[in-house]
Structure 1
């Protein structure tokens, strides 16, 4: 027993070490409740009033969540620790040594987040892999089959297994792979920590949502369904959108619209840029009659030709705006471009903004808006100071930091709710979003233009509950234009943004020559090649529309990384340039850098869409794809229903399908409704099952929608 006797100095030293290793904690005991099937909420202390879920009005799709297989965490939920100290709140979540992590919103600079420090902050020009992004979320997912969401709008830093605590244990140099050379010092070979730590400065408490799998895809489904289900855009929004030059006048817009129809180039939406307003920085939200003398005539005449009009704006209100006086006392205490910053956290302010848009634009036939500048100034530059500061205050009580994180989300919510209340669907553009955004049909875009990053953002969008638009502007070469066009066609929104181009980019890739109307010698050929890609996009609409229906009803992201479908395949853990479209298409876009690339096909059999060649999964292939071909591979067992391409989608449009069958036994589904209203919420839709077996194709239609928009013209068995 003598070895357990402590002298006074030893006891004092032990007590001192214990105090140093313990973090001072105050507040309430952690409470765990189940708030939806497979979703548990941990509550500790006093959570902030203005947290992301407090603004989520959509109810969880409980019935759909109950249909998912029961999940089980790889750890005891009671091992999640939240500590309140004088700095704020620190949340620690167990982490296995071989666990892979994804998420934190629409990340640009990284994919697999294991071992990184991430700070998902809204920013207009993301920097490296720090976490700055147009669409930050405090949600991450594990390939072990669960998701963790810290329900806060404060700037939060996540240490993704990148730190190890001082427990008092002695660690030798051998254990740390230590050394004294410069190479050793910078090698950073220390083992990853067994925790994910989330640091939330300033918080006095927090809510933590745990989404149980049992696999990665199921965990993401629970998050999307808990958010109210994924968005189903208006079906015309899945066609092609073209934004005209910023200084175009009404006659210029009509001329461009006529050109597209005369040359049979599919376009559904025409976007007007800033000069449609009397003042744009800040905004008046008033038509510039010098440029658009009769806006109603434009809207109506374009509608007759099958076009929808989308208006550019941002939310900072100029003194010349009719909104200025009503919002003056319902805005933040700092201006942006001398304009008011509406307090979108205040329902009254949000309603004022929304009502004006409804009465001035939406009732006149404007189909959607491009909501710009709702992210923050570039945090990587000291002279980027255009936005409101973090110490701003708003009448609702929210501060500038929290408002930045929520601003884009609340902005799109205000506009979207008007369309929903009018039973009219839309497809919006937005430059920032946030947590619990799944139900909003708003495609995020960016002023960045790196093609590799744009592809990576498609894969990351599936972990964010967001829609990403890798728009096409000018290009370095014709090859660059075509590769970017392929990616746009294989994304959630096919968008050409010609806000600084007089002519379509396929007529002249050089900006200066384009604006001097000096077209390329082979402009007609390039246009024909682009038309071929856009025709494929229009052929793909029924398949894409069904993928969004699966997003809404089942929470399955329409565009997602391979690891979501194959979470146990180590070879896909770091593949960020391939992704699934729906359940049957694997896309592997190319950039102008090369005419060929390596493509890994997961377990199973796949077919090269362009050649029909059958390929065994679990292997990596070197493939080449022509500029007018699509870099996609079709999973065995899939029926790919491709429609005869339309130049635009109208309420009367019918889709004539050719069903391509991959495998001896195959099936797929289609979602059929009017495509423009929310009547599907009242059961006005059909589920169509296409099946093929024993050399025969079958169509089974069930539902209450009375119009058949899809007809199968023929079946083609791919050998």
Structure 2
């Protein structure tokens, strides 16, 4: 490699055009030159053959800047440099990058010369002349996209859009919108703008641009993957891989705002066990610490939680797991506050809760004094973990619910961003705050033990969060059909940024508008809310985490009725289906970790040649096999408009404002919905086995308990046993559903389910292939091993037409013909 690079340097020195420029030189990973007017320098660096970093800076030397999302360092990459009078061309085996030597504008093409992306004009640097960011710049770079080019990403937005074209968006973290300055194109490339300050993304007929409030340079990464999966893989390579979650986290979770005693919380788990409804996770929300002056004490100072060890033991004794709410702020009476404050590790802007009293609205006469901690500081993260470990983790807590990781910022003033942090002003690193929050907990728990996998449910995320065991949820969204519809593209765009674990509050967080006098102010008795909740839960069954949570009314299944009633039965049916699919879901999670795959797959990922799916925002694939088309409009009740945001939602005066309320609804009637089946595949109706051709709109009959699901021909889908919790029964007798019509494959994955031994090779894979022409399923030889693995099992192989065979599998190749 050194000889190769030396040869190119020699050739470049012999090039007259190169010498004439006098400002261009080769670096170990690319080139560097200064534009003719001397206003800035441009460096182009190959990190891999398909990932290129572009840095433009007005200083004499490349400035040092924190880049917390990026973990990749440049690899030795073969590339060729060709000099012309006006441009320099760099070629790797995957990319061709052309740089205009006069303006330092770049063009990106694939190895065959197909144009991918072009910068639209030169970078702009506007000096910041005063304030804490003096000496920095406002930085903007524009790009030119094809008029009909669809792009995806930007994080999690609540705009209901699939393609993120034709909009202007101010990217600063908030409760219900999580921003990452990244997009990927249907053309198979991605662009990550590596700036952490508040940034305006704008796309119009003139250009597509990122405009950041503060920076030392323009710094971005161009990634070419060839398709959406390739771009996601590139983002994971650039920003970190996603570790495995425990099997139990893919079961059903129950929560609410909030259980007010440990007996109430444990009682919920016990009730589920009595009803025979599966459950794996229970969550304790805030104020187990007591009053607001003790906010986030990370200690059970509330007298209603007198024996936390007994609480955890009882939950574990019921074969369930527990997560608990922790925040990024502390009340003035807490131990963490008293240690962090003298060290200057707390911020001085207004955050939640505003008042020390629990009444609404907040009483300004009694400010809470709660302050957000400097998560950028390694010392502050050490202090945070010390109290979390001593106060909670020691009891055997299984998971963390990290709330307000954006963080909450009430009565926002631009001057609040002048706050000093470990890295400088808060403005400089504002959007990376959630990344450091989850890093602090993940790194410390991993250092403490490898026996329990880290699982973090966090309200905000940023690219790179996936490497810290983080599952992001969509914040305190309102309970409405519009909000439900928005969640589908929100989760898909978030996933297309490379962050695979996402979910939302099933039923929406604020449901108080459904509390009516005629139902005793109890939303689960209101048919309008019952229908919305069931459809939301059906969607939630096919997200990486299935979690029911919200304010204003409890969400446990028994609040909606009893067994034999339509609403209760519809809820129970979906929970049981989730557990039946655990072998499929857990094997998909291995593909996410090991092969950089994605759970929630926008249809463009699997059907990029079908133009009808490029901007489709209400369907998706869940894993490689299952097409999900959730019912997103009211069918049995009037669909009323509810406008509640994360601020107004806490105003209890909004309760009972639902209009068009009905006191009786016949949920047994049959309805219908329309959906689209992508072209390029044959589809099976999951419920009936009916075969349908792709590339057509269809009308599907529905009932309250049915969500339209379709399985792609060629799929192999394993189904597990009926259980009350994820690990109740071994997978020694799985049903393999085969969907003929195309060749297919699937790998069944197993490990010890809740430790990190898989990182050392303690796991098994059972490869399966379906040959459609011979109607033969081959179950290949088992790969790998781990202590306690199944050495003998049965597979019942079944097709939609009713053909079925059962075979014994001992780890050696078995062939089944149907």
TM-score under structure 1 length normalisation: 0.82
Alignment partners' CA distance in 2, 1:419 and 1:62: 34
Aligned partner of 1:447 among 476, 482, 485: 476
Q: Is the 8 A contact 2:198 2:430 kept in 1?
A: no
Secondary structure of 1:348 counterpart: helix
Question: What pairs up with 1:155-194 in 2 under 5 angstroms?
Answer: 155-160=198-203, 162=204, 192-193=205-206
Q: Is the 8 A contact 1:334 1:388 kept in 2?
A: no
Corresponding residue of 2:717: 640
Alignment partners' CA distance in 2, 1:25 and 1:566: 47
Q: Is the 8 A contact 2:261 2:304 kept in 1?
A: yes
Alignment partners' CA distance in 1, 2:50 and 2:745: 29
Question: What pairs up with 1:606-625 in 2 under 5 angstroms?
Answer: 606-625=683-702
Question: What pairs up with 1:137-156 in 2 under 5 angstroms?
Answer: 137-156=180-199
Corresponding residue of 2:19: none
Aligned partner of 1:91 among 136, 141, 153: 141
Corresponding residue of 1:185: none
Indicate how the Cα distance of structure 1 residues 291 and 654 shifts in structure 2: closer, same or farther if over 3 A, else same. Answer: farther
Q: Indicate whether 1:221 and 2:233 are aligned.
A: yes
Alignment partners' CA distance in 1, 2:261 and 2:487: 31
Q: Deviations over 1:570-589 (max 9, x none)?
A: 11121011111111111111
Indicate how the Cα distance of structure 1 residues 388 and 204 shifts in structure 2: closer, same or farther if over 3 A, else same. Answer: closer
Q: Is the 8 A contact 1:479 1:592 kept in 2?
A: no
Q: Deviations over 1:2-45 (max 9, x none)?
A: xxxxxxxxxxxxxxxxxxxxx99875321111113411111111
Alignment partners' CA distance in 2, 1:418 and 1:397: 21
Corresponding residue of 1:702: 783
Indicate how the Cα distance of structure 1 residues 546 and 608 shifts in structure 2: closer, same or farther if over 3 A, else same. Answer: same
Give 1:252 shift: 1.4
Q: Is the 8 A contact 1:609 1:630 kept in 2?
A: no
Indicate how the Cα distance of structure 1 residues 688 and 61 shifts in structure 2: closer, same or farther if over 3 A, else same. Answer: farther
Aligned partner of 2:272 among 237, 260, 265: 260
Alignment partners' CA distance in 2, 1:298 and 1:222: 43
Indicate how the Cα distance of structure 1 residues 491 and 319 shifts in structure 2: closer, same or farther if over 3 A, else same. Answer: same
Corresponding residue of 2:581: 540
Q: Is the 8 A contact 1:230 1:465 kept in 2?
A: no
Q: Is the 8 A contact 1:238 1:492 kept in 2?
A: yes
Indicate how the Cα distance of structure 1 residues 390 and 554 shifts in structure 2: closer, same or farther if over 3 A, else same. Answer: farther
Give 1:496 shift: 1.1
Corresponding residue of 2:764: 686
Q: Is the 8 A contact 1:28 1:44 kept in 2?
A: yes
Corresponding residue of 1:318: 331
Question: What pairs up with 1:88-487 in 2 under 5 angstroms?
Answer: 88-109=138-159, 110-125=161-176, 133=177, 135-160=178-203, 162=204, 192-193=205-206, 195-280=207-292, 282-328=295-341, 329-335=343-349, 336=351, 337-376=368-407, 384-385=410-411, 390-421=416-447, 422-423=449-450, 424-445=452-473, 446-449=475-478, 450-466=483-499, 467-473=501-507, 476-487=528-539
Q: Greater CA deviation, 356-365 or 202-211?
A: 356-365
Indicate how the Cα distance of structure 1 residues 483 and 663 shifts in structure 2: closer, same or farther if over 3 A, else same. Answer: same
Indicate how the Cα distance of structure 1 residues 159 and 526 shifts in structure 2: closer, same or farther if over 3 A, else same. Answer: closer
Q: Indicate whether 1:42 and 2:92 are aligned.
A: no
Give 1:688 shift: 1.6
Q: Is the 8 A contact 1:669 1:689 kept in 2?
A: yes
| Structure 1: tracts of 5 or more residues without a match | 1-22, 64-68, 126-132, 163-191, 379-383, 510-519
Aligned partner of 2:675 among 599, 602, 612: 599
Q: Is the 8 A contact 1:373 1:431 kept in 2?
A: yes
TM-score under structure 2 length normalisation: 0.73
Indicate how the Cα distance of structure 1 residues 49 and 415 shifts in structure 2: closer, same or farther if over 3 A, else same. Answer: farther
Alignment partners' CA distance in 2, 1:347 and 1:393: 17
Question: What pairs up with 1:549-628 in 2 under 5 angstroms?
Answer: 549-594=590-635, 595-602=671-678, 603-628=680-705
Give 1:455 shift: 2.0
Alignment partners' CA distance in 1, 2:289 and 2:535: 34
Q: Is the 8 A contact 1:548 1:558 kept in 2?
A: yes
| Structure 2: tracts of 5 or more residues without a match | 1-34, 78-92, 96-108, 128-136, 352-367, 512-523, 636-670, 802-818
Alignment partners' CA distance in 2, 1:479 and 1:437: 34
How many correspondences in the alignment? 637
Alignment partners' CA distance in 1, 2:37 and 2:395: 57
Give 1:453 shift: 1.2
Q: Greater CA deviation, 612-621 or 243-252?
A: 243-252
Secondary structure of 1:549 counterpart: helix
Alignment partners' CA distance in 2, 1:426 and 1:389: 36
Alignment partners' CA distance in 2, 1:38 and 1:32: 13
Higher relative contact order (CA 8 A, sep 6+): 1
Q: Greater CA deviation, 35-44 or 705-714?
A: 705-714
Q: Deviations over 1:193-217 (max 9, x none)?
A: 2x32221233231211111121233
Indicate how the Cα distance of structure 1 residues 650 and 499 shifts in structure 2: closer, same or farther if over 3 A, else same. Answer: farther
Give 1:327 shift: 1.2
Alignment partners' CA distance in 2, 1:669 and 1:521: 39
Give 1:624 shift: 2.9
Indicate how the Cα distance of structure 1 residues 355 and 60 shifts in structure 2: closer, same or farther if over 3 A, else same. Answer: farther
Q: Is the 8 A contact 1:605 1:635 kept in 2?
A: yes
Question: What pairs up with 1:66-77 in 2 under 5 angstroms?
Answer: 70=94, 72-73=109-110, 74-75=114-115
Give 1:278 shift: 2.4
Q: Deviations over 1:681-704 (max 9, x none)?
A: 111112221233434433222113
Alignment partners' CA distance in 1, 2:724 and 2:292: 32
